[in-house]
Homo-oligomer: A and B are copies of this chain.
Amino acid sequence: MILRPDSLEQVQECVRAANREGRALYPISSGKNRGYGSRVPTSDNCALLDLSRMNRIVDFNEKLGYVTVEPGVTQRQLCAFLAERKSGLWMDATGAGLDCSIIGNTVERGFGHTPYGDHFSNACGLEVVLANGEILQTGFAGLPGARAAEVYRWGVGPSLDGLFSQSNFGIVTRMTVWLMPAPEHYQAFLFQSSEEDSLSRFVERLRPLRMNGTLRSAVHIANDYKVLNGMQQFPEGEAEPLSAAAITGYAGKLGFGRWNGSGGLYGTRRQVAEARRLVRLALSGSVTKLQFLDERMLRIAARFKTQYRWFTGLDLTRTLELVRPVFGLMKGVPTDQPMASVYWRKKTPIPRDPDPERDRCGLMWFAPVAPSDGESVRQLADIAEHTLREFGFEPMISMTMITERSVASVISITYDREVEGEDDKAMNCFVQLRSRLAVKGYYPYRLGIQDMDLLDADPVRKAFLSAIRKATDPGNVLAPGRYLTPDSKA
Contacts and interface: CB of A to CB of B under 8 A. Distances in A.
A213 B267 CA distance: 8
A1 interface: no
Interface in A213-235: 213-214, 216
A144 B458 CA distance: 8
B464 A130 contact: yes
A20 interface: no
Given A64-B405, A136-B460, A458-B143, A442 B158 contact: no
Contacts of A181: 208, 211-212
Interface string A55-84: 000000001111000000000000000000
A404 to B, nearest CB: 8
Interface residues of A, number: 96
Contacts of A142: 458, 460-461
Chain B CB count within 10 A is highest, among A109, A115, A166, A271, for: A271
A170 to B, nearest CB: 9
A229 to B, nearest CB: 26
A162 B159 contact: yes
Contacts of A65: 211, 404-405
B159 A371 contact: no
B271 A369 contact: no
A115 to B, nearest CB: 7
Interface stretch (A304-312, A416-424, A443-451): A443-451
Interface string A355-393: 000000000000001111100100000000000000000
A137 to B, nearest CB: 7
A376 B147 contact: yes
Contacts of A239: none
Chain B CB count within 10 A is highest, among A158, A164, A444, A467, for: A158
Contact of A63 (B158, B268, B373): B373
A445 B115 CA distance: 26
Interface in A120-164: 120-121, 130, 134-137, 140, 142-148, 150-164
Interface string A407-440: 0100000000000000000000000000000111
Interface string A81-97: 00000000000000000
A248 interface: no
A222 to B, nearest CB: 20
Interface stretch (A44-52, A188-196, A291-299, A468-476): A468-476
How many chain copies? 2
A405 B176 CA distance: 13
Contact of A372 (B64, B145, B447, B483): B64
A400 B471 CA distance: 39
Contacts of A439: 145
A442 to B, nearest CB: 6
Contacts of A134: 460, 463-464
A371 B125 CA distance: 14
Contacts of A339: none
Interface of A: 63-66, 109, 115, 120-121, 130, 134-137, 140, 142-148, 150-167, 169, 178, 180-181, 183, 208, 211-214, 216, 266-268, 270-271, 274, 277-278, 369-373, 376, 402-406, 408, 438-447, 454-455, 457-458, 460-461, 463-465, 467-468, 470-472, 483-484
The 9 A-B residue pairs with the shortest CB-CB distance in the complex, in nearest-first order? A159-B162, A471-B471, A151-B405, A147-B441, A142-B458, A158-B167, A145-B441, A152-B406, A148-B369
18 contacts: A120-B154, A137-B460, A142-B461, A143-B458, A144-B438, A144-B457, A145-B441, A147-B440, A148-B370, A152-B445, A156-B444, A156-B454, A159-B165, A161-B162, A181-B212, A212-B267, A213-B213, A468-B468
Given A136-B461, A156-B166, A158-B163, 11 more contacts: A109-B154, A120-B159, A140-B369, A144-B441, A146-B441, A148-B370, A148-B443, A157-B461, A158-B162, A159-B165, A213-B216
